[in-house]
Structure 1
């Protein structure tokens, strides 16, 4: 790759698997020193090992981002120390997706999902953004979701959290942009790891029929967009949500 993030430091939450892992690996391939964070130490160690084996720089920090301000501040402090005193890029990727019906959602589940998906990135951003401004600037990238704008059955709780993150993206761009911190978001569509040959079609594949892409995306597709937003190539991009969804939300779906 072109080392667009050479000498940059990055914290990617929820990066022990799937989209977060792909983002961390792409950042490292572009020259950044990346903090992998998540709850699973074994998976985190594997991601770090893979990045280092490819010549990249990465470290793992265990973190339970449950929504408490204390846990978010603790991760920010430990990441900053591990990265030599500064965090140039923050990716708020960690999230959970229970999908009960609205009438079947209890208060504990509601609070847990909002804690992980909204409160944790809110307080992590609050902990990281001021030190970014002190260091001369930085980049914050949030992960939204296509179902924040296109309703699906059983998606009320999760999609509302992603709608909140997209709104926070614009608000934070207004709040922190004048201080040198760019804030944007990526809204993934139906994203799945590559499927084995001959397997049964995943429900997500059916949802993408009739779209311009005609197929699901992979975690790498999201990672490429995040790398661009983190790089100087996107220096004039503020408060934007980039749809990486195969055209699912922006184009009429043609029934097969």
Structure 2
């Protein structure tokens, strides 16, 4: 088995289910020692077990990404890492008049501020060592207007801009920063709203929902040496755009 990430340490936020768990399993399979973040210790243990059953190495850290001090503790407990995947995020749908302050703050704090703090804490040490990779998980809704998803899309659009800023800020120090914009994907999160992913899939050229593993495969490519000249990119893993027709 190819192990291009052997000897590296990877922190993945939101790694206890869905895309995050698939990323954790994929990177461990490529040789990385995985630090899986989440909120639930039982689900964290399941991610670690899934990795260890495949011969990989992993440990779990619980942290509340809505609290800045908790995010900084996560960075401190993770220690020096070679790979940071800012995967954790929330999406709570609602029209602008129905979005209260708490909903607004949750999206900003988890989707935007937490990745920013982790970047502050973990990228400078990468830069000092002259190597490192960051991948931010975004969404099609960051570039295409999505009904009922204004604040969700706005926070992810902000994360895409930060991706480009960090790519410039740290690129000459040997740190690459990219983003993956995911399309409709089958996860436990989307399953909470039956028909959501399937409905969105009808707007894609492929006409189907992605699996979490299909998104994880692209993240895995971006963090390996095979993507050594990819920096500041937002890679669309969205199934393609339908053509406009009269």
Post-superposition shift, 1:72?
A: 2.0
Partner of 2:197: 204
Is residue 2:94 matched to residue 1:104? no
Is residue 2:164 matched to residue 1:165? no
Q: Could you say if the C-alpha distance between residues 210 and 143 of structure 1 is closer, same or farther in structure 2, counting changes exceeding 3 Å?
A: closer
Q: Is the 8 A contact 2:167 2:231 kept in 1?
A: yes
Secondary structure of the residue aligned to 1:242 is strand
Secondary structure of the residue aligned to 1:16 is coil
Secondary structure of the residue aligned to 2:145 is coil
Post-superposition, which runs of at least 4 consecutive aligned residues in structure 1 deviate over 6 A?
Answer: none
Partner of 1:76: 75
Secondary structure of the residue aligned to 2:34 is strand
Superposition pairs of residues 12-31 of structure 1, within 5 angstroms: 12-31=12-31
Instruction: Give the alignment's TM-score, normalised by structure 1.
Output: 0.90
Counterpart CA distance in 2 for 1:136 and 1:142 is: 20
Secondary structure of the residue aligned to 2:210 is coil
Partner of 2:128: 134
Question: Which structure 2 residue ranges, 5 or more long, are not aligned?
Answer: 189-193
1:106-154 deviations in whole A, cap 9, x for unaligned? 1121112100110011011100011111223100100110011111210
Partner of 1:190: 184
Is residue 2:210 matched to residue 1:217? yes
Partner of 1:197: none
Secondary structure of the residue aligned to 2:181 is strand
Partner of 1:154: 148
Secondary structure of the residue aligned to 2:92 is coil
Counterpart CA distance in 2 for 1:28 and 1:130 is: 24
Partner of 1:60: 60
Counterpart CA distance in 1 for 2:17 and 2:245 is: 33
Is the deviation greater in 26-35 or in 71-80? 71-80
Instruction: Give the alignment's TM-score, normalised by structure 2.
Output: 0.93
Post-superposition shift, 1:253?
A: 6.3
Counterpart CA distance in 1 for 2:29 and 2:201 is: 30
Post-superposition shift, 1:4?
A: 2.0
Q: Is the 8 A contact 2:128 2:173 kept in 1?
A: no
Q: Is the 8 A contact 1:5 1:231 kept in 2?
A: yes
Post-superposition shift, 1:216?
A: 0.6
Secondary structure of the residue aligned to 1:109 is helix
Is residue 2:223 matched to residue 1:235? no
Superposed CA RMSD in Å reads: 1.7
Post-superposition shift, 1:202?
A: 2.1
